Structure 1
Amino acid sequence: MRSLVRFLCLGILVSFISLALGCNLGSGETVEITLNAVVTGEGTVERTVDEYPWESVNISPSSYKMLITYFALERDDGLKVTLVDDESAELLDFSGSVGADGLFLARKAIPTGTYVAYEMSFTYLEMDVLCSFNVPSWSTDAAHALVTDTHDAGGSPSPGSYTIRQYFNVDGQFQKRDMVVNAGTEESPNWVWMRRELENSEGNRKFFLDQETHPYQGCIDLFADEDFWGANDTLDDEDPEIIIESGNTAGGLDAKITTFTVTVPKTLLITVDVTSSFNFWEDSTNSTYYNGTLDFGPSYDEIPIGEGAIEYFGDKGFHPFMPKFNLKML
């Protein structure tokens, strides 16, 4: 009888210990993962005729930068693990060859488990594109360096490589959807807005807007999509930061993830596909702007307004797209 009691007590003790161990199994286990990023699709061009006489052209940038301010993984039980935050924000420069493994973004010990989603946020995308800048002779900016440097002696567009920055979140005087060009140098940048339209009237002759306050209206900007940007283009309580979530398709977004399980150290790779990520309409009827490159310029309506034909100094319909994102384990 005593043997039976001792056996039962031992069984209960073993069961209790096993239960305790089972509850703690994996609860504190972490594994180191490395997050890299790589860009693909640089330097390609696609052309289709959308609406005669305008031809739709998709180009890919020759170099690419991205300021990532937030990146988090989500486990299948809802746990979110932050890999990048404001204090560890990374400006990724994809210029030139970065190799198959991409650029280093973060390294961190994360809980083991299966991860099914991710979130990320970035302030801007920065790209180099072959382009020219064009204005009518009466414009205040006819003698601007960006204009004169991108035309030959005969006045025809002679494009060069210039840096365009596209804002997806607020940064100082720059707002969501802003598209600006560097009118300075790489060492001393001067980011300026460009007007959509010019009027041949006093005070409205400038194409480039070099100022500390945001112009808010009438500038060349990024694609319009309220579901993606929110009701407003400013950062406030009702229009929060743009967060890219895997699986989201708003604004043409294509953010994917290949579900992965980590039990040993692994490397993750976020691929940024910029193929045909900048679209514009090029005049295909013997225009000086039908040259296979991006020609920035305004339209203008002759004075008196509404009585003359609208003319375009350059291409039209500038529409930068979001790159495609895909996260997978190497």
Structure 2
Amino acid sequence: MTIRSKMWRYRWLYIFMVPGIVYYLVYHYVPMFGLVVAFQDYNLMKGVTGSPWVGLDNFRAVFESPDFPQLMRNTVLLSVYRLIFGMLPDLILALMLNEIRVRWFKKTIQTLTYGPHFLSWIIVYGIMFSFFAPGSGLVTTFFRDMGWGSIDVLTNSALFRPMLVTTDIWKSTGYGAIIYLATLAGINNEQYEAAAIDGAGRWRQLWHVTLPGVRDVFMLLVILRLGSILDAGFEQVYIFLNVRVYGVGDILDTWIFRRGIEEMNYSVPAAVGVFKSVIGFVLVLGANKLAKKFGGSGIW
């Protein structure tokens, strides 16, 4: 069968692919032309074609900035904390829900854990502020009235990163568990039946059937998160950030936001964006190679 005849045979599949292809071309590939801003002294009035070319000067400005080491450290640490502490709760919740046999109880727990995903970070911060606002929060007032002293959560640099990670886990665990639940639903029940015939209990079935069944998906999500390790969650950090925690909370995204939006300097933030993309691409390639080396399927 020739290529032309194959294309005609599957013509409807190709037609259905057209909207997705157009979407990626328009919103993902055409905007890549804007990367040239990172190599220009961009002027909003002159545009991309009229702004002077400065080569790697914007990258030098970023790497030579006295704030850059601290920004990188904060960004990487926060992303690593999210990666280490944020992925296991998704898997654990999915495994627990998978073991529940009472449907109404399972649906209730799943709804309660999935609900926070729909809350914006503004609302989450409002909840945190109502509980831990210095001097007026419910928890801080309770501690003060009980004579236990005052607590400082929102403006304590030692607690800022744990607070971000904890609120992120609370907000996203239910949503993240859906991916694992879909994977668990695809495991062949005959594997559990065979394990039960061999005398395996629930824990043995979990170890030898369930966990191997979700291993590839877990590795895939790890690889994808490594690719965005320099994206430490701009929206959450920007909303929770305050002057007293800048030393541990200011990340690359909040810094380029101030440079790009508040100072109207678009070239330096564009250079940071290119730098982040290159680092993410290298990490994805490396993680994918390691995953295949240790028996995983990887991304491709």
Q: What range describes the TM-score normalised by the shorter chain of this pair? A: under 0.3
More strand by share: 1
Name the structure, 1 or 2, with higher relative contact order (CA <8 Å, separation 6+). 2
Select the structure of larger CA radius of gyration.
1
